[in-house]
Amino acid sequence: MSKKKPFFIVFEGIEGSGKSYQSKKLLSNLKKKKFPTILTREPGGTKSAELIRNLILKDYFNKSQKEKFDKYTDTLLYLAARNEHVKNKILPALSKNKVVICDRFTDSTTAYQVYGKKVNLKFINNIHKFILGNLKPHLTFILKVSSKSSRSRLSKRKTRNRYDNFSKSFYEKAQKSFLRLAKNKKNYFIFDSSKNDKIIEKKIFDITLKYLKK
């Protein structure tokens, strides 16, 4: 094992892309190598942020309720959850030289809220300046997936939220946004996760080890 150092890893992608699966695999593989590692998620990750997550994800599922959150209210809730998460979980873990793996982070906000729902990017960036400071992922893994594989995986989920029920065109737009965000960035790695195989798991682990040993 290399010398312990704070390291922040993010997995991004649309629903059904295998983010949660691959992030759990990476957690397991790093722990086997004795790296002090935690796995967390957004929105959520802390008790208070999980309460906000429930409010966001269940809002649109109440079919009898005609009134829905405005897109800016929705975005502010995501950012409020992120503030709680960053201040109370991510930064404290990094200060203890832990490896933090996060299932979704700021790129999801850009892909879904900015490109998907046309929320003003400057609005989000201004808030991020205050709640993130200098915090940026050291590594980001973008998992792209075919619509067929994504739908197949979503159909097998026991519990679903409103983000599992968007249109095919919305997911396609979001996926293109993730790929655009990753373009020409050295610490971004894109993998096609349409097939359930162990090749991607090994590649992700190898890349992570390489960066951790720098």
> What residues does each domain of the chain span?
7-37+97-212
Distances (CA, A) of 164 to 61, 137, 146, 211: 11, 25, 15, 33
Question: Comparing C-alpha atoms, which of 76, 136, 87, 103 is closest to residue 14?
Answer: 103
User: What residues form DSSP beta bridges with 8?
Assistant: 100
pLDDT value at position 198?
85
Does this model's pTM top 0.85? My answer is yes
Superfamily of domain 7-37+97-212: P-loop containing nucleotide triphosphate hydrolases (3.40.50.300)
Task: Please give the Cα distance from 208 to 203 (Å, whole number).
Answer: 9
Are the C-beta atoms of 91 and 195 separated by less than 8 Å?
no
Which pLDDT value is given to residue 57?
Answer: 81
* Positions in the chain short of pLDDT 70: 1-3, 59-67, 147-168, 196
